């Protein structure tokens, strides 16, 4: 049996929560006309507005905003309506989420309204573009979502969430309204690192990333770099008590690594080549003395590492050019 304390969903949904979850606009109006507080949260701080967005009922979310719903409220995990909208624009809290983008692909709409349109309205209403999660958000289907979206942990922002799935449109919207392209999560993982797949996991890299995926990653990295992202930022903390509580397993032994280590980990040759061409350093070492070349040759900590002679050759060529 699992000896550790585990999160379990608590009760506390109101009639309005159920109405917005089901997408019943008439029900919402009837309940509000009876004098119900439009912002009454669950015991965990989840408002009806968040529930509407989290269940892809974006038209209902817009209606709640029309009726005066507060867009600034945070829940227990640190999620805001904006975070939830960006999350749902990228597939929700797991790959089984109903929302959308999933590595650059088009997001779904609810009766003509998209999650990104909700995000845009929230930003135009003056919400904080850089809210940071208190800790790992809940997973779809209940539980603590262990091993799902590892980077969405303490300190994660909407920008980081969008970067994970190369959502250039979402990142551009956030940046337009003050979204910080360099604000990291607790471990120091920045949006640029996330776009390069640093700290992420894959069940089998041989079948996970297509050429199209790599090009989408490059588009995301190009946007972030143009917006001022620091491509040489390093993972800061994987060993303190706070980090050990928050840290996903994918960041074990990755202290001091930069974004390019993420692309190397998954043998994303096109991405590595682009990053090198755009100034990424390969004459560096992480906190354990592992260089990008070591990583490309499979001599690196952690797991899900893919040795690649093609990537190693790119790094050797860059090192030779630097020495020349």
- What integer pLDDT is reported at residue 102 of this predicted model? 46
Question: What pLDDT score does 239 carry?
Answer: 74
Q: Please, how many CA atoms are within 13 Å of residue 79, restricted to the half-sphere of its CB?
A: 29
Q: Band the pLDDT of 124: cuts 50, 70, 90.
A: very high
- Distances in Å between the alpha carbon of 254 and those of 13, 48, 157, 262, 296? 41, 39, 21, 10, 14
Tell me, what's the pLDDT at 109? Answer: 53
More confident site: 1 or 253? 253
CA distance 167 to 69: 27
Q: What is the pLDDT of residue 199?
A: 78
Instruction: Tell me if 159 sits within 8 A of 191, measured CB to CB.
Output: yes
Cα 177 to Cα 197: distance, rounded to the nearest angstrom:
25
pLDDT tens string 14-43: 999 999 999 999 999 999 999 999 999 999
pLDDT of residue 38: 98
Look at residue 148 in the predicted model and tell me its pLDDT.
55
Residue of 193, 202, 198 whose CA lies nearest to 221? 193
Structure confidence at residue 153 (pLDDT): 83
User: Per CATH, is 183-324 categorized as 1.25.40.20?
Assistant: yes
Residue 109 exposed, middle or buried by CB count within 10 Å (0-12, 13-18, 19+): middle
Please state which of the ranges 12-16, 99-103, 236-240 shows the lowest mean pLDDT: 99-103
| 74 three-state secondary structure | coil
Q: Where are the domains of the chain?
A: 183-324
Max mean pLDDT range (10-19, 79-88, 191-200): 79-88
pLDDT band (50, 70, 90) for residue 7: low
The 10 Å CB-count burial string (b at 16+, else e) for 283-299 is ebebbeebbbbbbbbee
DSSP string, 251-304: GTT-TT--HHHHHHHTT-HHHHHHHHHTT---S---TTS--HHHHHTT--SSSS
Query: What confidence category does residue 143 fall into, taking pLDDT thresholds of 50, 70 and 90?
Result: very low
Report pLDDT digits (tens) over 256-282. 999 999 999 889 999 999 999 999 999
């Amino acid at each position: 049996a699992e000896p550790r304390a585990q999160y379990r969903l608590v009760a506390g949904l109101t009639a309005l929560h159920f109405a917005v979850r089901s997408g019943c606009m008439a029900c919402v109006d009837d309940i509000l006309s009876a004098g119900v507080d439009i912002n009454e949260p669950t015991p965990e701080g989840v408002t009806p507005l968040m529930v509407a967005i989290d269940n892809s009922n974006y038209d209902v979310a817009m209606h709640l905003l029309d009726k005066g719903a507060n867009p600034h409220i945070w829940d227990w995990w640190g999620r805001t309506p904006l975070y939830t909208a960006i999350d749902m624009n990228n597939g929700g809290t797991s790959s089984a989420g109903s929302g959308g983008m999933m590595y650059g692909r088009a997001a779904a709409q609810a009766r003509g309204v998209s999650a990104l349109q909700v995000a845009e309205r929230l930003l135009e209403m003056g919400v904080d573009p850089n809210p940071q999660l208190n800790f790992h958000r809940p997973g779809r289907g209940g539980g603590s979502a262990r091993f799902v979206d590892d980077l969405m942990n303490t300190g994660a922002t909407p920008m980081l969430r969008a970067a994970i799935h190369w959502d250039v449109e979402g990142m551009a919207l956030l940046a337009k309204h003050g979204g910080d392209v360099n604000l990291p999560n607790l471990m120091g993982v920045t949006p640029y690192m996330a776009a390069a797949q640093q700290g992420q996991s894959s069940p089998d890299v041989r079948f996970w990333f297509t050429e199209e995926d790599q090009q989408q990653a490059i588009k995301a990295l190009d946007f972030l770099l143009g917006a001022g992202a620091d491509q040489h930022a390093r993972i800061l903390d994987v060993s303190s008590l706070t980090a050990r509580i928050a840290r996903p397993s994918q960041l074990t032994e990755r202290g001091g690594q930069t974004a390019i280590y993420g692309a190397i980990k998954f043998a994303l040759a096109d991405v590595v080549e682009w990053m090198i061409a755009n100034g990424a350093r390969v004459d560096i070492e992480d906190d354990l003395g592992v260089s990008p070349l070591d990583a490309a040759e499979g001599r690196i900590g952690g797991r899900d590492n893919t040795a690649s002679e093609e990537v190693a050759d790119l790094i050797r060529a860059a090192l030779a050019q630097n020495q020349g």
